Structure 1
Amino acid sequence: MASAQSGGLQRRRGAGAASASAGTSTSSTLIDDDDFTPSRTGSPALGRSSTPSSSRNPAGVASSAYGSRSATGSVTTYDESTGHRVAYDPRDLNDEKEIGENPRLTLMEEILLLGLKDRQGYLSFWNDNISYTLRGCILIELALRRRIAITKDPMRKRFGLTERMVDVIDGKMTGEVLLDEALKMMKSSDRMSVAQWVDLMSGETWNVMKIGYQLKQVRERLAKGLVDKGILRTEKRNFLLFDMATHPLNDTSCKDAVLRRVLTLLTSTSPTVHANTFYKEDSSSSGRPVALRVTRALCLLCCSFSANVLENALNHLSYEARESAFQKADDILEEFANWPMAPSSGLAGGGVGGGSSAFGAAGVPTSLSSNGPRPKANGGARIGEGSMLNERAYEEGNVGASVQELGKALQKELDQEGDAFMFECIAAVLNVLSRMDSLL
């Protein structure tokens, strides 16, 4: 009886081996429960190719040239030293050049850092603007990292600045969770305008089919990211009936650097703008200068004013100096929330980016700014002097960077490092944020 059972078992094994050996070289074989990768030329017993390893990879090293790429983009190679197959995603490999070009903190984290109370570790309960602004900062950061841009379509000039469509020009992940989440969503969705994306990410829609586009718990996720970077720490505070996690400041040097960038643009005694004065700490740590430094500093100023967190950076100033700085920030936002940017700066082409495809068919700047650049009281062109509504604030001379010098610095970065459609996307987001008071 035992011999009959063993004979049947041997017959079953033999039949399995025979059927496997009769299979073609393209048969798919599952080695075990964890192996779901088809073996193109593999032996069913070992799951490896019967071809000598030297013929598969003459160099004897694992290379994507000899590996197979899956539908998801991962690459499977053969490690000669261990005899194992190795799978990796080439998109996960660090790009040292890109890491050096980007600062340690994203634009969203800088805005949140300005809004947080240093000791208490939470935002003002009365701030209704920061959530909407943070969604706009996500789009600006993606544009600064060359991931998105305005669609390269000549017909876009028929539409207002904020109604122009956005394209994903580089789908590579950034390593920042919020940015990657937004980038994946934009890649997998239909093409939409700048204003639509900011609204949908903020949950400002009546379309129940698009509720899933909302990015949730953005402030808390940004705060946890700053905790991971060692800038904040986590504590629990009791608020009457419940406990709430707070994030007091742990590293004051990072916030001081953000404050310096804002104050340089608003309270500097010189109207000139030097790129070397911005992001010096990030440039020294990475060994190479941060890309688009003046553009980043300008976006930081405009977004902090829009998010209503600029007051925290100006508390040490006198009342008149603080009001003057607020008016300066308002004027800068109004100037650069157009395309071309800074139309009153006197630059060739009508402003930053005006050299190519800056004007509409009628020859007028394509902008949705409600009132456009305001003229001076005496009818002359206003170039970087701030608003003339508060004459007393400017009795001692202009302070802060002038619009003209900012425009020159941005135009230089656009010519050397940037892309006109990328800057147009930034201008469109700033235009949305400049009209936020009328939207909320």
Structure 2
Amino acid sequence: MTLNIPESLLLLSRKDDTGAQQGNFVEYALAGGALAELFLAERLDVHPDKPKRINIISEAPLGDAYLDDCLAEIVKKGSGKSGEAYVTLLAGKSYLAATLAHTLVDRGILRAEEKSFLIFSWTNFPEVDSTAETAMKERLAAVMFDRAEPEVADCAIIALAQRTELLSKNFDKEELKANSRRIKGLAKGDFLPTKAAVKSIDAVQTALIVAAITPAIAASTTS
């Protein structure tokens, strides 16, 4: 059972037993992961004359509820905006993260658990089948610690997970420290295979930009 970039980040951001969220600025990481997937699916591309701008090149649905909702929001916003603008847009739509979580519920990976306290209510998503997450973590560990060749998605996940403190929540801190130079290189896209397509590289670079500016975006939208 394969996971895309935002699905991987969502699982990393949830405590397996309770389903409570961990990490910082997770909604921005999910937004960055969505942009990367939309690049890979050839729905978005870098503006040919303005490299900091992103063009919509196709509005065709992908058949994935979360990514289709993200694409629809971007289409409503309009083409030619910055990555920061699209990330801020997607991160501010709370229903998107819920849609993503429910896709994993439908696949039997998570379950929805309603919680309440006084007048407040919320939904946690504890894990019921760890197979997909375990395989994803083993893959990331091999890339970070055992010098396995990364795939495009690996670099995007590592970049976004590093900036949102999800690596330290899911992997041994000593191993992360011992391999910090390798991880920093992966998060910069230094070890992408030379055979990677241009659009794949654009997708990762978008994720890297998002990862770098995530704290600043979050600070500006909450101040």
TM normalised by structure 1 equals 0.45
SS of the residue aligned with 1:149?
strand
Which of the residues 107, 110, 114 maps onto 1:229? 107
Structure number with higher relative contact order (C-alpha < 8 Å, ≥ 6 residues apart):
2
Over the matched positions of the two proteins, sequence identity in percent amounts to 22
Residue type matched to 2:169 in 1?
N
Tell me the number of residue pairs that the alignment of Structure 1 and Structure 2 aligns.
217
Match status 1:296 vs 2:167: no
Match status 1:329 vs 2:183: yes
Residue type matched to 1:250 in 2?
V
Tell me, in whole angstroms, the C-alpha distance in 2 between the residues paired with 1:219 and 1:186.
15
Mark the CA change 1:325 to 1:221 in structure 2 (over 3 Å): closer, same or farther.
farther
Tell me, in whole angstroms, the C-alpha distance in 2 between the residues paired with 1:425 and 1:267.
24
Residue type matched to 1:191 in 2?
G
State the 1:114 CA deviation.
Answer: 1.0
Equivalences for residues 23-172 of structure 1 within 5 A: 104-124=2-22, 127-153=23-49, 156=50, 164-172=52-60
SS of the residue aligned with 2:123?
strand
| Residue of structure 2 equivalent to 1:195 | 84
State the 1:251 CA deviation.
Answer: 0.7
| Greater helix content | 2
| Residue of structure 2 equivalent to 1:245 | 123
Tell me, in whole angstroms, the C-alpha distance in 1 between the residues paired with 2:107 and 2:180.
31
| Residue of structure 2 equivalent to 1:432 | 210
Runs of 5+ consecutive residues of structure 2 not aligned to the other structure: none
Which of the residues 389, 410, 413 maps onto 2:196? 413
Tell me, in whole angstroms, the C-alpha distance in 1 between the residues paired with 2:91 and 2:19.
23
Contact 1:143 1:423 in 2 (8 A): no
Contact 1:121 1:246 in 2 (8 A): yes
Tell me, in whole angstroms, the C-alpha distance in 2 between the residues paired with 1:106 and 1:272.
19
SS of the residue aligned with 2:94?
coil
Instruction: Kindly name which structure, 1 or 2, has the bigger radius of gyration based on alpha carbons.
Output: 1
Tell me, in whole angstroms, the C-alpha distance in 2 between the residues paired with 1:173 and 1:216.
21
Contact 2:111 2:125 in 1 (8 A): yes
Runs of 5+ consecutive residues of structure 1 not aligned to the other structure: 1-102, 204-214, 276-293, 337-341, 343-405, 415-419
Tell me, in whole angstroms, the C-alpha distance in 1 between the residues paired with 2:152 and 2:205.
11
SS of the residue aligned with 2:45?
strand
Match status 1:254 vs 2:143: no
SS of the residue aligned with 1:195?
helix
| Residue of structure 2 equivalent to 1:308 | 165
State the 1:166 CA deviation.
Answer: 1.3
Tell me, in whole angstroms, the C-alpha distance in 1 between the residues paired with 2:64 and 2:213.
28
Tell me, in whole angstroms, the C-alpha distance in 2 between the residues paired with 1:217 and 1:181.
10
Contact 1:151 1:421 in 2 (8 A): no
